[in-house]
Amino acid sequence: MLNGKVAVITGGTRGIGFATAKKFLDNNCKVILFGSKKESVDKAIRELKKINNTYEVSGLFPNICDLKEVEKAFDEINKKYGEIDILINNAGISAMDSIYDYTEENFKKIMDLNVNAVFNCSKVVAPIMKKNGGGVILNTSSMVSLYGQPSGCGYPTSKFAVNGLTKSLARELGPDNIRVNAVAPGIIYTDMMKNIPKEKIKPLINTIPLRKIGRPEDVANAFLFLASDMASYVTGVVLSVDGAARN
């Protein structure tokens, strides 16, 4: 579905990002992973190569909150491949701090990675895509961007902003043949979920009409569809992948 395409995936070393990288590679896409440090990037590449040593995968570890580092990284990729067809802004962090305890520093940290980095990567990749006749920008949102959450207001606030950026860029970049969409995952069985005791997971499952927790592959499938030509007339959408969970 993505034969010959070149994709950059931020936060691509684990969880949803890693599953999406594998899904794209399985569909003959060339993938460049962005991670927070060299060690995690190298580890992810080794794991992918163990699955299939013919995967065309490489990685970088720029500080995506720094526009100049993003420009340098994307310039390097563009020179190597001659194009960047797909960008997935997946890197992000969460927190559950109460408003009574939330510090200005922690709130800023959430907004920097979850919003500013998405802006930086989108700003830098857009002219590359425009020059090459178009492309696809996909953002990782969250179900809490639609419904909020009872504590940790910084995270849903940042994802509300991602939704706004998604819809606005879809309208702005549409004339340049650049589609912009987001995926809003619900409760997904990532490494973080694996550390939660089973007695706490069961009540969560009961809130989901499908009565199961999603897998990273479920989100990766949504990204694959939105990145492919099957979604050629889909832009400005925030696609929920949450089993109809609404809490």
Q: Which residues are known catalytic residues?
A: 155
Among 64, 60, 189, which residue's Cα sits nearest to residue 122? 64
- Looking at residue 55, its amino acid is Y
CB-based burial of residue 175 (10 Å sphere; 0-12 exposed, 13-18 middle, 19+ buried)?
A: exposed
Q: How many residues does the chain have?
A: 247
31 vs 11: CA distance, rounded Å: 12
Query: What tokens appear for 81 in the block?
Result: 């491949």
11 vs 1: CA distance, rounded Å: 22
